[in-house]
Structure 1
Amino acid sequence: MLTISLTIGQYCMFYIWVVFCEKKIMGSEENDNKLYKITTTQQAIASCCGAIITSLLVTPLDVVKIRLQAQSNSFSNGKYFIYSNGLMDHVYVCENGNNKAWYKKPGHFRGMLDAFMKIIKIEGIKSLWSGLPPTLIMALPGTVIYFTSYDQLSEILRSKLGKDSNHIPVLAGSISRLGSLTVVSPLELIRTKMQSRQLSYKQLHICINNTVAKDGWLSLWRGWSPTALRDVPFSAMYWYNYERFKNRLCKRFDAHEPTFMISFTSGAAAGSIAATVTLPFDVVKTRKQTELWEYETLNISQKRSASTWTVMKRIFAEHGFTGLFAGIVPRLIKVAPACAIMISSYEYGKSFFRKLNKQKNMQSYLFSSNRD
């Protein structure tokens, strides 16, 4: 009995000591966030991993979609097509007769599932990830800047406006998206020139210098306006709805931080709403982008580009109100899973680093206590 009492007493003392240590280390909720706050580098790593995972999972959907489109509408020489994997838009030119080009391979597919099965059986599973390298090259810097900037701006705005302000996701989402697309826009133009014709880096450098000398530095941001009109409102609505859905689900399931499923569900719902509302700007951007690519790839003399509102009025006059929402189903099929996978992967990465920092701080404190 004495032994049992001593054992229970030791456990009680150990428990009290652990609680005391945790309280001393963790403190209030604000101190906890400061102690275990993830660094900017960790945020960048989490967003980078999220972009890679999203590209790996969503790119096969676009490959199949383009192959289905190609069998019904074949591309003639000098033409191109645009596809998007949910993170970036991509344009491919059909100029040569390279029979290895995945978009020119013949196919007789009855539907999406049939296309998946036949591509894997005949061409190999690697064919589903054709076009992945340019996706990663363009998506990674933009995604890292976007998500890292959003978290940094949110933190600054919370200190100014209060942590419960509804304006924080809208402001942080808009500014971070504006910054990321401004940085990436010249890279997109460079990729446009490299894909339109085979250029060495020296030739590319000369080509860019000539463009800048002729039209000025602002020519590197050609096409920025319609992209901003689509992406900035999308980002504002996406983050506003995502934070609302996330907070509600966390309260409903009594979760202190969002689980993978909470982030996934919130991201899919928020992405679907934002994609639907901003679809008219996406339709305009696609039309303006095809015009730009026509000038680039077919060496047509470039006319003055029509404004976004002029293009929108033209689409409305030609196709009616439904023309502004053309392609809503394939856009939702792409954007909803891409948003869900990206944000859930990013939140999981942040949670991982937060726990890692907590564990390191706990070990550091215990080590210093033992030394004393």
Structure 2
Amino acid sequence: MDRASFISSLLAGAAAGTSTDLVFFPIDTLKTRLQAAGGFFANGGYHGVYRGLGSAVVASAPSASLFFVSYDSMKTYSRPVFSKLISSSDQMAETATHMFSSSAGEIAACMVRVPAEVIKQRTQTHKSDSSWQTFKKLLKNDNGEGIRRNLYRGWSTTIMREIPFTCIQFPLYEYLKKRWAQVGNREQVAPWQGSFCGCLAGGVAAATTTPLDVLKTRLMLSKTSVPVLHLARTIYAKEGWQVFFSGVGPRTIWISAGGAIFLGVYETIHSILS
């Protein structure tokens, strides 16, 4: 990746992440409260839906920039490798490239996203704390598990959720763009078409990975570390399998619409700067 492409990905990703979080934050809050132990109204209901916005805004630009810089870089470097490994099918090589590159992007983004998610979700389900107050409580390390473990609680589950999510979303997103461009006899789609492809791909990925999102939410809200499988068994025994699809509606709507804005803004800014 050359310097111009790097800067384009950096700025386009920052704009995409910030705009999406600002627009759809209330829906994210409702989704978090639906998934939290105790239920929707016990965790704040419809009140204070912008609580925790500060942590989301602070992390949006750097996490999205990290994602797209890693994603675009890895696409450039890994495409020749997968072409050699999967020489029998160009489409399979492209799909493998997008799955690998988006997974690398998500891991990079989670370095910033996970601490911000922990702070955001705890603030969303608390009736008085601000993002800053939640952050200071985590730094106090009252549970004795250490600041790193407190800030990165749910890291493994977030990765477990994000990699399947992105392995569905980005290959589908890139495939839809490619097919649409072929239908119109163009090299690439217009930004608004990329936005529509992002909407559809995001909705499919969101609905499919909701159970992993529920586990991630419960882990981040837990006061102490809990093994993922133990948590899943406990939730199933106490609340039944239906709880693993709590918030599937708001999550799918939020990520579908968010995907349209996120990838639409990215495509627009990237086309301007390229």
TM, length-normalised to structure 1:
0.58
Q: Which amino acid aligns with 1:46?
A: A
- Which stretch of the first structure deviates more once superposed, 272-281 or 181-190? 181-190
Counterpart mapping for 1:353-372 below 5 A: 353-354=273-274
Q: Distance between the aligned counterparts of 1:336 and 1:190, measured in 2?
A: 24
CA-to-partner distance for each residue in 1:302-348, whole Å, 9 max, x for gaps?
Answer: 4xx33222222333334443332222111111110001110111011
1:314 aligns with 2:243: no
Counterpart mapping for 1:138-157 below 5 A: 138-157=59-78
CA-to-partner distance for each residue in 1:86-132, whole Å, 9 max, x for gaps?
Answer: xxxxxxxxxxxxxxxx936xxxxxxxxxxxxxxxxxxxxxxx97754
1:103 aligns with 2:47: yes
SS state at 1:39 partner: helix
Match of 2:5 among 22, 28, 39: 39
Q: Using a 3 Å threshold, how does the CA distance of structure 1 residues 278 and 157 change in structure 2: closer, same or farther? A: same
Q: Using a 3 Å threshold, how does the CA distance of structure 1 residues 129 and 328 change in structure 2: closer, same or farther? A: closer
8 Å contact 2:177–2:188 — kept in the other structure? no
Q: Using a 3 Å threshold, how does the CA distance of structure 1 residues 353 and 225 change in structure 2: closer, same or farther? A: same
Q: Using a 3 Å threshold, how does the CA distance of structure 1 residues 255 and 318 change in structure 2: closer, same or farther? A: farther
Q: Which amino acid aligns with 2:19?
A: I
1:171 aligns with 2:100: yes
Counterpart mapping for 1:202-281 below 5 A: 204=136, 208=139, 215=146, 217-218=148-149, 220-281=151-212
Q: Relative contact order, CA 8 A, sep 6+: which one is greater?
A: 2
8 Å contact 2:55–2:119 — kept in the other structure? no
CA-to-partner distance for each residue in 1:191-244, whole Å, 9 max, x for gaps?
Answer: 769847748x9xx5x974868996485554222112111112111211111111
1:161 aligns with 2:82: yes
Match of 1:351 among 268, 271, 274: 271
Q: Distance between the aligned counterparts of 1:328 and 1:209, measured in 2?
A: 34
Q: Using a 3 Å threshold, how does the CA distance of structure 1 residues 47 and 330 change in structure 2: closer, same or farther? A: same
Q: Using a 3 Å threshold, how does the CA distance of structure 1 residues 264 and 289 change in structure 2: closer, same or farther? A: same
Q: Using a 3 Å threshold, how does the CA distance of structure 1 residues 350 and 212 change in structure 2: closer, same or farther? A: farther
- Which stretch of the first structure deviates more once superposed, 276-285 or 178-187? 178-187
SS state at 1:254 partner: coil
Structure label with greater radius of gyration: 1
1:181 aligns with 2:110: yes
SS state at 2:186 partner: coil
1:332 aligns with 2:263: no
CA RMSD of aligned residues (A): 3.7
8 Å contact 1:50–1:343 — kept in the other structure? yes
8 Å contact 1:250–1:262 — kept in the other structure? no
Overall identity of the aligned pairs, in %: 24
Q: Distance between the aligned counterparts of 2:118 and 2:7, measured in 1?
A: 28
Q: Distance between the aligned counterparts of 2:119 and 2:249, measured in 1?
A: 31
8 Å contact 1:59–1:132 — kept in the other structure? yes
8 Å contact 1:211–1:219 — kept in the other structure? no
CA drift of 1:144 comes to 0.9
CA drift of 1:171 comes to 0.5
Q: Distance between the aligned counterparts of 1:315 and 1:145, measured in 2?
A: 33
Q: Distance between the aligned counterparts of 1:253 and 1:46, measured in 2?
A: 25
Q: Distance between the aligned counterparts of 2:195 and 2:9, measured in 1?
A: 18
CA drift of 1:289 comes to 2.4
Q: Which amino acid aligns with 2:107?
A: L
Q: Show structure 1 runs of 5+ residues with no match.
A: 1-32, 83-101, 105-127, 296-301, 355-372
Q: Distance between the aligned counterparts of 2:118 and 2:131, measured in 1?
A: 11
Counterpart for residue 36 of structure 2: none
Counterpart mapping for 1:32-71 below 5 A: 38-59=4-25, 61=27
Counterpart for residue 97 of structure 1: none
SS state at 1:285 partner: helix
Counterpart for residue 16 of structure 1: none
8 Å contact 2:52–2:119 — kept in the other structure? no
Q: Using a 3 Å threshold, how does the CA distance of structure 1 residues 64 and 220 change in structure 2: closer, same or farther? A: closer
Q: Which amino acid aligns with 1:180?
A: A
CA drift of 1:142 comes to 0.9
SS state at 1:272 partner: helix
Q: Distance between the aligned counterparts of 1:74 and 1:216, measured in 2?
A: 30
CA drift of 1:73 comes to 6.3
